[in-house]
A and B are shown apart, each in its own frame.
Chain A
Amino acid sequence: MFVEMSDAALVQCIADGRHEAEAEMCRRMGPRIRLYGLRHLRSSSAADDLVQQVLLKTLEALRAGRLRDAVKLAPFVLGTCRMTVLDLRRSRERQEQLLEEFGRVLIPVQSHAAPLDGGRLARCVAALKERERSVVVMTYYDEISAIETGRSLGISEANVRVIRHRAIKRLRACMEAVA
């Protein structure tokens, strides 16, 4: 029943004290929060912590009926993510309090299922053009900027981006083709 429910209806159910709706909200928002956490915190465990913190804050707000516009659940959660990442280094005391209060309705967010075939990816990377391979290695080794990469390879910053996009497109096609 709750799976098909809109965000707005879900928010209303949570405000009405329906605990199953809380579980659905966590299932729905958890993976999105985790992606945000991976992007901004660059660590699976930190992203998992963020999921927990943001869901706790969201549940607290929803139970208290503090979300004025029920259709704005997603923007509310995104805003909470942004604030939480900014506050991440602050005391964990509050989190522990919330965990005690709401911990039982949290469900773990599943990470991506099958791991990518590293051998296959290596073959696809080896098949790239030389410039593409150089740009990909230098970019993804430690996220070295397009300016630096271009400067040391004699390629303009704009061209590094074009080459990188083309390389990623080729790699995705190669991975799908041999899958």
Chain B
Amino acid sequence: MTRQDETSATTCHAPVDPAVLADYWLGVLSTAEEEAVESHLFECDACGERLRDIIEIAEALRALAHSGALRVILGDTFIRHVEQTGRRVRQYDFVPGQIVPCTISADDDLLVARFAVDLSKAERVDLSFRDPQGVERGRMNDIPVRTNAGHVIFQESATFAKAAPSSSMVARLLAVGTDGEERLLGEYFFQHTRTISGPPGWE
């Protein structure tokens, strides 16, 4: 085999699966698997190029996760980890039916709501957002939940919250049956007050 055959992007005869490359980057392969991947990478620039793409996505995902800009369900250990690394997490605890005044400051990194809820009899759970008039403005379908957790941790987009005007919103946790029937698990009321200036015209 010539060097061209070994390294061309189109002629790698045994390309490493992108999932394996992603695991390699995360350092979760066994020693033997890792050594096999590294030996291949030192012979094959095509797979090296694929790994570069994966590293690029991984680094961009890291930056995105750090930005706090995503609406996402998170776990307890994650929140603890973020706090231990010195990042500012603004957290609000909600019990069903409670109205919670909330805000965000410029130096907060993450904005998190912890909804107390009994999940013991729920198989699928949706998180729905309504305006004060009862119109649904968004829904997170089939969120990951730990049935014995006693709460759901929701990260609101810090980017959005920092720009948003003072407003109210209702979050609803719903158990969804296999037939699509919904059962209310809890309703939580946000009363957001803007404390930093937002973009002009968004009042």
For A88, the chain B residues whose CB sits under 8 A away are none
Point out which of B45, B48, B74 has the most chain A C-beta atoms below 10 A from its C-beta: B74
For B147, the chain A residues whose CB sits under 8 A away are 154
Is the pair B27, A74 in contact by a Cβ cutoff of 8 Å? no
CA distance A6 to B7 in the complex (A): 11
B141 within 8 A of A: yes
For B60, the chain A residues whose CB sits under 8 A away are 116, 118, 121
CA distance A153 to B69 in the complex (A): 20
Is the pair A126, B42 in contact by a Cβ cutoff of 8 Å? no
CA distance A136 to B65 in the complex (A): 9
Bitwise interface map of B from 18 to 36 toward A, beta carbon under 8 Å scored 1, else 0: 1100111111100000000
CA distance A175 to B82 in the complex (A): 28
A158 within 8 A of B: no
CB contact under 8 A between A154 and B144, given known A74-B43, A137-B65, A172-B57: yes
Name A's interface SS: helix
Give chain B nearest CB distance to A171 CB in angstroms: 6
Is the pair A125, B73 in contact by a Cβ cutoff of 8 Å? no
Looking across the interface, which residue of chain A has its beta carbon closest to that of B55?
Answer: A38
For A133, the chain B residues whose CB sits under 8 A away are 70, 72-73
Name B's interface SS: helix
B105 within 8 A of A: no
A52 within 8 A of B: no
For A152, the chain B residues whose CB sits under 8 A away are 74-78, 146
CA distance A5 to B4 in the complex (A): 9
CA distance A145 to B78 in the complex (A): 10
Give chain A nearest CB distance to B103 CB in angstroms: 23
Is the pair A138, B78 in contact by a Cβ cutoff of 8 Å? yes
Is the pair B42, A138 in contact by a Cβ cutoff of 8 Å? no
Please choose the segment from A13-21, A60-68, A94-102, A162-170 that sits at the chain B interface, where 4 or more of its residues have CB less than 8 A away.
A162-170
CB contact under 8 A between A134 and B74, given known A36-B41, A112-B52: yes
CB contact under 8 A between A168 and B64, given known A137-B70, A138-B74, A154-B146: no
CA distance A35 to B194 in the complex (A): 45
CB contact under 8 A between A122 and B48, given known A77-B42, A130-B140, A143-B26: no
- The residue that A168 contacts in the complex, of B18, B43, B145, with Cβ under 8 A, is B18
For B28, the chain A residues whose CB sits under 8 A away are 145-146, 161
Looking across the interface, which residue of chain A has its beta carbon closest to that of B79?
Answer: A152
- The residue that B57 contacts in the complex, of A36, A143, A164, A175, with Cβ under 8 A, is A175
For A116, the chain B residues whose CB sits under 8 A away are 56-57, 60
For A153, the chain B residues whose CB sits under 8 A away are 73, 75, 144-146
Is the pair A131, B142 in contact by a Cβ cutoff of 8 Å? yes
CB contact under 8 A between A32 and B57, given known A134-B72, A168-B18: no
B196 within 8 A of A: no
- The residue that B53 contacts in the complex, of A36, A138, A172, with Cβ under 8 A, is A172
Q: A6-B3, A140-B65 are in contact. List 20 more A-B contacts (CB 8 A).
A: A6-B2, A38-B55, A74-B39, A78-B38, A121-B64, A122-B69, A130-B140, A134-B74, A134-B144, A137-B78, A138-B65, A139-B26, A141-B81, A142-B85, A151-B77, A152-B74, A152-B76, A153-B73, A153-B75, A154-B149
Chain B interface (Cβ within 8 Å of chain A)?
A: 2-4, 18-19, 22-28, 38-39, 41-43, 45, 48, 51-58, 60-66, 69-78, 81-82, 85, 140-147, 149, 155
Chain A to chain B contacts (Cβ below 8 Å), 13 pairs: A32-B41, A32-B48, A36-B38, A116-B56, A122-B69, A130-B72, A131-B143, A133-B73, A145-B28, A149-B77, A154-B149, A161-B23, A172-B18
